[in-house]
Amino acid sequence: MFTMSSELSPVSGFEQLRRIESSKLFQGAVIAIIILSALTTGAKTYDVPPLVERSLSVLDNAITLFFLVEILFRFGVCQNKKRFLFDGWNLFDTLVVIGSLIPLDNAEAVLLGRLLRVFRVLRLVSVVPELRFLINSLLKAIPRMGYIALLMFIIFYIYAAMGSMFFADIDEFLWGDVSIAMLTLFRVATFEDWTDVMYDTMEVYPLSWIYYLTFIFLTAFVFLNMMIGAILEVMGEEQNAKEAEKAHDERDEIARQLQAVQQQLQELTRQISERK
């Protein structure tokens, strides 16, 4: 039997570590620790016996240590370490883990330390690919949603000015000025007892129902559906890009495997030549 060269062992070991980092077992363990961290943070908000409180503190320190080891492990298996922090999720995880190292006995940093420990629950988003996909889609949809929100603000302002002009004498508390009228319209748009507001104005202006129904039609139906459509469009684009990236990664993996087989064949050929 021919012995394989030891030159490939570091590469295979590195690939094995990468498989461990991307395995479902490892990801499941991280998710379980994040959930445990959330439960620990919630338990600290209750009045518990001193023994339980000390146990929770020890558990919190152990969780912080686990997150530190986990982020260092992810950094170690990253192929391009210089660009590790250029990934927004890696940067977020790193900041949360570093912030969790702030000692809680420091009076000046106790609030910051507790807040960052609460934010550790958000690491669940960075670990679960489906949640990460949703957040990325939402962030990329924000520019498109911004224009819709601007148009919605214009409609709010127009209707608020009209409401303040016509209904201020009826209810100064709800329609006193434009800013207050916009808050009232937000209440109408969210259907929070909006009929009570409408009936009060209809006692003086019987046709004021047209004002409310047209406003609700624009905000609750038109603009809301436009927001949903913008998000769904971005999600479709992200899904297509994700599938294209997956296909590209599969081609790269096949190419790497073929290259490894070729190197092994070359090594076997060299060993055969040396034996001759």
Where does CATH 1.20.120.350 sit in the chain? Answer: 13-127
Contact yes or no for 145/223 (Cβ under 8 A): no
Average pLDDT over residues 95-116: 65
Exposed/middle/buried for residue 156 (C-beta within 10 Å: 0-12, 13-18, 19+)? buried
Q: CA 154, CA 148: separation in Å to the nearest integer?
A: 10
Q: CA 110, CA 105: separation in Å to the nearest integer?
A: 7
3-class DSSP assignment, residue 186 = helix
Decide if pLDDT at 55 tops 80.
yes
Where does CATH 1.10.287.70 sit in the chain? Answer: 140-262
Q: What is the pLDDT of residue 186?
A: 92
CATH of domain 13-127: 1.20.120.350
Mean of per-residue pLDDT scores for the chain: 81
Decide if pLDDT at 1 tops 60.
no
Instruction: Return the CATH fold of 140-262.
Output: Helix Hairpins (1.10.287)
Poorest-pLDDT segment among 9-13, 139-143, 163-167: 9-13
Task: Give the total residue count for the chain.
Answer: 276
Entry pTM? 0.60
| 156-208 pLDDT, tens digit each | 999 999 999 999 888 889 998 899 999 999 999 988 888 999 999 999 999 99
Q: What is the pLDDT of residue 276?
A: 64
With a pLDDT cut of 70, the percent of the chain lying above it is 89
Q: CA 160, CA 152: separation in Å to the nearest integer?
A: 12
